[in-house]
Every structure is written in C-alpha cells, then in structure tokens.
C-alpha cells in the first residue's frame, strides 16, 4: 500500500495484537503500546494518524485522561475497540474518549471478531462507526483487506452497545450449552437475547436497525456459538459447577460481560427497563441461583405475545 499511515495501538492483548497485524499486513507503520512498554504514551501517539484503544474497560478512563494532557495533533483520529461499560458512570468507552478529547473524531470499531481467528488469518468483517463520516471512512480504508471486510456506519452508540450487550447473552448461551439443553433452547435464548439488546439500546438512544447488523446480531452469533469467546466460557464453566472466582483466575484475558452485567442491571433498575435474561445472568454471577434455576425461571416467566 503506497499511502502508508502511522497507527498506534494501545493495548497489547489478543485483540490489540490482532488489529495491529491487520494494519501491518496493509503496509502501515504500527506502534503497539502497553503498560509494560519502554516508550511513553506521549512518544507512541506523536504524529499518529490513528490512535486505536484496545485496552480493557477498567483501563480506558485512566489512559484517556492521560492523553488529554498530552500534545496531540488535531488530525489524529481516535478509535475505540473496547466492549464494556464504565462501572462508575455506566458510560460507553467512546463517551469517555469523546469527553476527554472533545475536538477529535472518535470512531467505534466492533463486530463478530474473535481475535484467535483473525490471528489465523481467517476471513472476518467488522463495522466502524462515527458521527464524523470522513473519520469512519479513513479508518475503513486503513483496516480493509481481502480477509477483513470493514463496513462504515453512522450510529456509533448502536455499534458500540451491540458489541457490549452481547457479552451478557454469551454468558447465558455458555450456560445453555454447558447444561446441554439443546439447539431449540439455545435458539430461543439468543433470539430473546437480541430482543433484550434492542430494548436496552433503543432506550439508550441507539438506532434499532443497527442491532440487526454485524455489530449486533453478527457479534451475538459469533460469541454465543464459540468456545473461543471468553464470556461464553464463563457461562459454560459455571454450568459445569466451577465458581466464578475459579473461572476468572484461569481465563486468558478479560471477560467484559461479567462487569457489563452488573452495570446494566444497575442502569435497568434506575430506568425501569425489563431485562429478564440480564437479570438471571446477574443473579447467577452473584451466586444467588444455580445455572439450572436461572434457565427455569426464564422458561416460567409470564405468558406474553412475542
């Protein structure tokens, strides 16, 4: 690629590394930064066309605040690829980035992207979304290739919430498979899970149709059907009788769905949004009910039209 850009990736976990490999394969100059790096944040973001954050949710605010006080080129586009919610404020990562850097374009990157498959160079597609169309298109060009198809979208909140909310449903899907409840039960769970994601998302201000795209339904299908998903693993292993503490101690990387479930329940109660699946996942993670009780309660809910 002749038109090489400078891309800085914050976060050297599986997802950050996978995104770095895609940009390198397209001929871009890539710097990867993590807390263990010898280089400072100021050094790695200097002159960057794109700064992409793939840090876990708990690190987002600290890093955004640090960058806020550094000299950053006005042209730099910030991309967030974190799927989670801030436990303090219930904000999404893009909200935190936009608050810290109000004059910069912020782009959300999200989709059915299991990092292990991307590392194996298997084909995948994703969505980049921003209220600044030119910024989304710029990021689209940098990351698009014959094995990574990038679509643009102008509903950043919907794209971001799709990737975040489906992690809760993936825990439930893991439970379903762990209990060997069969394909019918799983299909019902995932379909009702999508309905719940739409209900929350629209209430939050996202567009309903975004949830039927790659970053909603697409990511939901990938995560609810793959043992590679950390959130699915949490549910699957809970159904196998392990404790949450045991599971998290042995998990590679972060299962963002655990924190997201808690933040969502808090927000749903404040705003009176019915979220039966999220509610049962929350009770299960708290140790209040067994996996089997949780699914039984969902089956026994009041009869209602679809």
Residues labelled catalytic: 166
Residue pair 77/134 in contact (Cβ under 8 Å)? The answer is: no
Q: Provide the token pair at 40.
A: 């400072």
Distance CA 252, CA 46 (A): 31
């Amino acid at each position: 690629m002749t038109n090489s850009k400078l891309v800085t990736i914050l976060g050297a976990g599986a997802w950050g590394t996978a995104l770095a490999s895609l940009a390198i394969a397209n001929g871009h100059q890539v710097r990867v930064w993590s807390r263990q790096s010898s280089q400072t944040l100021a050094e790695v973001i200097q002159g960057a066309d794109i700064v992409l954050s793939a840090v876990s949710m708990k690190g987002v605010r600290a890093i955004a605040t640090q960058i806020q006080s550094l000299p950053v080129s006005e042209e730099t586009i910030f991309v967030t690829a974190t799927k989670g919610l801030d436990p303090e404020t219930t904000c999404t990562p893009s909200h935190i980035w936009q608050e810290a850097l109000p004059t910069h374009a912020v782009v959300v990157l999200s989709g059915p992207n299991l990092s292990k498959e991307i590392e194996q160079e298997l084909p995948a597609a994703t969505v980049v979304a921003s209220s600044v169309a030119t910024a989304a298109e710029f990021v689209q060009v940098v990351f698009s290739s014959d094995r990574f198809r990038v679509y643009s979208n102008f509903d950043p909140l919907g794209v971001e919430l799709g990737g975040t909310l489906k992690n809760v449903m993936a825990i439930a899907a893991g439970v379903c498979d762990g209990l060997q409840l069969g394909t019918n039960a799983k299909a019902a769970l995932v379909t009702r899970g999508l309905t719940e994601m739409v209900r929350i998302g629209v209430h939050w201000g996202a567009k309903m149709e975004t949830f039927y795209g790659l970053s909603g339904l697409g990511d939901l299908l990938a995560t609810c059907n793959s043992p590679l998903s950390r959130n699915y693993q949490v549910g699957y292993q809970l159904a196998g009788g392990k404790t949450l503490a045991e599971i998290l101690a042995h998990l590679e990387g972060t299962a963002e769905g655990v924190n997201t479930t808690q933040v969502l329940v808090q927000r749903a109660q404040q705003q009176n949004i019915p979220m039966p699946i999220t509610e049962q996942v929350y009770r299960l993670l708290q140790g209040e009910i067994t996996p089997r009780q949780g699914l039984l309660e969902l089956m026994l809910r009041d009869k209602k039209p679809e």
